[in-house]
Amino acid sequence: MATRGCDAGFVLRLSVPSSVGWGKILKQFWLGFYASVPERHAPQAVGGRRITGFSACVSGDYQFSTWVPGAFFLPGVGEIPLAGWSTDRLYYGNLKLELQNNAGMAAAFLRRRKNKRKPPLPYTASPLQLLGADILLVLKSLWSLPGIILPLNPSTLDELDELYPSWENLFALAMHVCLAMCQVVFLLSLLVCFFSMVPALWIFLYAVAFVWANRAICSWVLNTSDGVLQSQVAIEERPEHEREHWIFINGVAVGNHWLQNNIDRLAYTFGRRITGVHNPTDGLVFDIIECLIQRTFTFATPDTRDGYAITKATLLNPKYEKVVLILHSQGGIEGSLIIDWLLDELPEDILRKLEVYTFGNAANHFNNPFKSLLGLKQPSTDGSTIPYQNASGQANKSVLHIEHYVNALDFVCVWGVLQFASVPNRYMGRIFVRPGSGHQLNQHYLDAMFTLGPDRKVLDTNEFMEMGVKSVAYEKIRPKHARYARDEVLITSGRSVRDEHEDNIRGPLKVRDISRLWQYRNGGSPADDIK
């Protein structure tokens, strides 16, 4: 705002919600504060203590401004002369004072936000603090628990879907319901034992016996002795696919049967053979607890180590020019650990063979550092710096392509990717947030995003891929923002998505114009891979 010909002064700007009454504005926010300005510093350019400017903000709030030369006082703070300008922020009642250097000195008085969201702890913080925060986070996210299995979509169920009424699926569902009930009762009984002052040794033996029995039942009924499976369906592979290797790691509550269905569905979708690394299930409740332990203590389970060994060996094999890692749910946690290890051990030219795509990611971080400081930051509209997330910026990353696909009301996403993506540089890769629910890979993600036709080929279009996109900053990827999105997909990008694709796209941008994974459907390849 211009300085109106004065050598020094402040622009006072007051923004309050339009729902606040005028009398309250004048009495509490404006006159009450303005009375603290000494008479010798009264506004001269405007001829008195009165509101001299009015405009409607984009957000619908009211904005008032006036000019005060010299300096002014805050009760309990003292005189703030212009010569002492700094970037400090002061508070007075419900007003926030910001000192800005914008066409002269300026002070902005904004209504202070209440219940400001506290950012998540760094994933390198104290493990006990992280575990406590994660437990509270899961409990706060229970409102979205039905999003694990809803919607049911009985009219569009495929025999590969998790909730298709086949004997194997019904048996697996019945087992998971029984396991979940027993595990909840077990956890509650531990609390009863603790508060009943049962000797610690007896509690320990009881817990060990229950966990061992639970593991034995799951290993016998749901899991497989072989930790690595291959897709079994017939597909038409192309010669160039011999230079690719696709690896999948499953999520929570997935036994041997569902894993086989997952990799068979992925094989139909992308026209490639899929290697499945089995993350065995211990039941839904214990799997969620294992998720929290894995991402809190960076605990690597045997299947995480198997996935790492397979991925690393494939990357180092000169036969393969591309390695695609697909992760679902808890597999995202294991994949984030695998990537951390690969970043530590492999040279950049090897890592650039890797591409990563996740669905319903439960990880609390996803690393992908820049190769050099020059590619690290770009200016944003507010003068700060943000990481590049566009096509050209991605070329400066260690892993060339990372995409995350999210259902906004997915229970696991609410305490996973949607919770942590808003932290700068915490969740690298482009995030697609679909307005919907469901956590099952086949039924809720692949059926919605890569719909199959009767011939087991992906249809050329579907509702998700035809949705418009809204490019948002990473800090807007939060559960409370994503859950209210309608008829459009939220896309994260460090710059306008339109700018990235302006040479190739005419008309409104659709998800299919931006999704790299979509280009792999039916055995295809992205345009930049075709030689």
Checking if the pLDDT of 85 tops 50, the result is no
Q: Which amino acid, one-letter code, is at 447?
A: D
CA atoms of 433 and 248, how far apart (whole Å): 21
Q: Cis bond leading into 120, ω under 30°? A: no
The 10s digit of each residue's pLDDT in 209-221 is 999 999 999 999 9
The residue that leads in pLDDT, 154 or 38, is: 154
Q: What is the mean pLDDT of residues 340-363?
A: 94
Between the CA atoms of 252, 483, 144 and 515, what dihedral angle is there, to the nearest 10 degrees?
A: -10
CA-closest candidate to residue 227, choices 253, 251, 252, 249: 249
Reported confidence tier of residue 468, pLDDT bands at 50, 70, 90: confident
Residues 439, 440, 445: CA angle, nearest 5 degrees: 80
Res 490: pLDDT: 75
Specify whether the CB–CB gap between 371 and 397 falls below 8 A: yes
Say which residue the tokens 């696919």 belong to.
241
Give pLDDT, residue 503.
52
In tens, the pLDDT along 437-458 reads 999 999 999 999 999 999 999 9
The DSSP call for residue 251 is: -
Alpha-carbon gap, residue 427 to 363, rounded angstroms: 9
Q: Would you list the DSSP string of 167-195?
A: HHHHHHHHHHHHHHHHHHHHHHHHHHHHH
* C-beta of residue 393 within 8 angstroms of C-beta of residue 364: no
**94 CB-side CA count, 13 A:** 16
Residue range 285-320, pLDDT digits in tens: 999 999 999 999 999 999 999 999 999 999 999 999
**119 three-state secondary structure:** coil
Residue (of 402, 426, 412, 408) closest to 475 by Cα position: 426
Give the bridge partners for 9, in sequence order.
69
Quick one: three-class SS letters along 413-474?
A: HHCCHHHHCCCCCCECCEEEEECCCCCCHHHHHHHHHCCECCCCCECCCCCCCCCEEEEECH
- Dihedral sign computed on CA atoms, order 440, 445, 450, 454: positive
Q: State the Cα–Cα distance between residues 66 and 85, nearest whole angstrom.
A: 19
Give the per-residue pLDDT at 118. Answer: 74
Closest by CA to 402, choosing from 342, 357, 341, 450, is 357
Domain limits, the chain:
9-111, 127-529
Asked if pLDDT for residue 325 goes beyond 60, the answer is yes
Least confident among 69-83, 165-179, 444-458, 495-509? 69-83
> How far apart are alpha carbons 391 and 495 in whole angstroms?
10
The Cα 330–Cα 360 span in angstroms is: 8
- Name 387's bridge partners: 377
Give me the pLDDT at residue 151, please: 87
- In the chain the first and final C-alpha atoms are separated, in Å, by 54
Those residues with Cβ within 8 angstroms of residue 432's Cβ, 6 or more apart along the chain or in another chain = 403, 404, 405, 406, 489, 490, 491, 511, 515
CA distance 83 to 76: 20
Contact between residue 68 and residue 33 where contact means Cβ atoms under 8 Å apart: no
Instruction: Name which of 96-100, 242-246, 343-347, 469-473 the model is least confident about.
Output: 96-100
| Predicted local confidence at residue 531, as pLDDT | 52
Residues 140-150: what's their mean pLDDT? Answer: 90
Give the count of beta carbons closer than 10 Å to the beta carbon of residue 36. Answer: 13
Is pLDDT of 517 > 70?
yes
Q: Cβ distance 271 to 523 under 8 Å?
A: yes
Nearest CA-CA partner of 381 in 513, 481, 493? 493
Average model confidence (pLDDT) across the chain: 76
Enter the DSSP assignment of 271: S
Of 188, 186, 234, the closest CA to residue 212 belongs to 186
**Poorest-confidence range of 27-41, 234-248, 508-522?**
27-41
- For residue 162, give both structure tokens: 């998790």
- If one compares 235 and 479, the residue with the highest pLDDT of the two is 235
pLDDT at 41 over 50: no
Its pTM stands at: 0.74
Cβ atoms of residues 282 and 215 within 8 Å:
yes
pLDDT at 491: 73
What integer pLDDT is reported at residue 122 of this predicted model? 85
**12 pLDDT tier (thresholds 50, 70, 90):** very low
Maximum average pLDDT range among 245-259, 382-396, 493-507: 245-259
Residue owning tokens 């904005």: 63
Q: Is the pLDDT of residue 462 over 80?
A: yes
* Rounded average pLDDT over 504-524: 86
The yes-or-no verdict on residue 92 having pLDDT over 90 is: no
pLDDT at 483 (0 to 100)? 53
Burial of 200 from C-beta contacts in 10 A (0-12 / 13-18 / 19+): exposed
Assigned token pair, 109 = 């008085």
Please name the residues in contact with 285: beta carbons below 8 A apart, sequence gap of 6 or more: 179, 180, 183, 184, 187
pLDDT > 70 in the chain, percent: 67
Residue 14 has pLDDT above 50, yes or no: no
